[in-house]
Amino acid sequence: MISDEQRAQLEHVREMLQVRMKDKPRRYEHSLGVARTCARLAQAYDVDEFEAVLAGLVHDWDKVVDDHELLTRAAQYGVNVVGSPTAAVGLLHGPVAAHELPHIFPGISDRVCQAVARHTLGALDMTPLDMVVFVADAIEPGRYGDYAERLRAFVGNAALEELFFQTFAQGLVYVISTGRYLYPTAIDIYNSYAAKR
């Protein structure tokens, strides 16, 4: 349950996000969709709703930053990049934002920042909050296609870890089928969760 004080905090964050993304209205709408989906998933899987919605709102905070600046900031913050930083630049907005958000929103929890960092790459030890944000990014209402509908049908009908696994696997299928760069840790993450099934 989100308190009145927390709702006020979320509204403040939403207002700041709207200003930050004024030139990217579709990105802003996506972020709102992810936040709403995070709320639904948090309720279904007993995850802190406030933290889930907050992470959903700010998960793409640095998606408005150009590639060169993202690479510069990643190097400045010591973001660990496996493989080619240039090839992975599309995935760096999460880890980079995780370093910046505590300075922009004092008091934001490490859990929220970690979920933001992990929404692009995943991790071997995803927390429930991490999984909620990762899944919400893939199934928010603005995502279309059979894959999104299939994953949405899992919500509340499958364990959160299984929903994450299915979402992660679908992401790998997309990356491979479109000939994009596959981040080197992806196979290890996939195999780790596949072995748990």
Give phi and psi for 2, each to the nearest 5: -95, 130
The answer to which of 16-25, 38-47, 99-108, 143-152 has the lowest mean pLDDT is 143-152
Query: What pLDDT does residue 109 have?
Result: 98
Q: Is the per-residue pLDDT at 145 higher than 90? A: no
Cβ contacts of residue 50 below 8 Å, gap of 6+? 2, 3, 6, 9, 10
Q: Is the per-residue pLDDT at 100 higher than 90? A: yes
Query: What pLDDT does residue 27 have?
Result: 98
Query: What pLDDT does residue 1 have?
Result: 85
Query: What pLDDT does residue 157 have?
Result: 96
CB atoms under 10 Å from CB of 11, counted, come to: 10
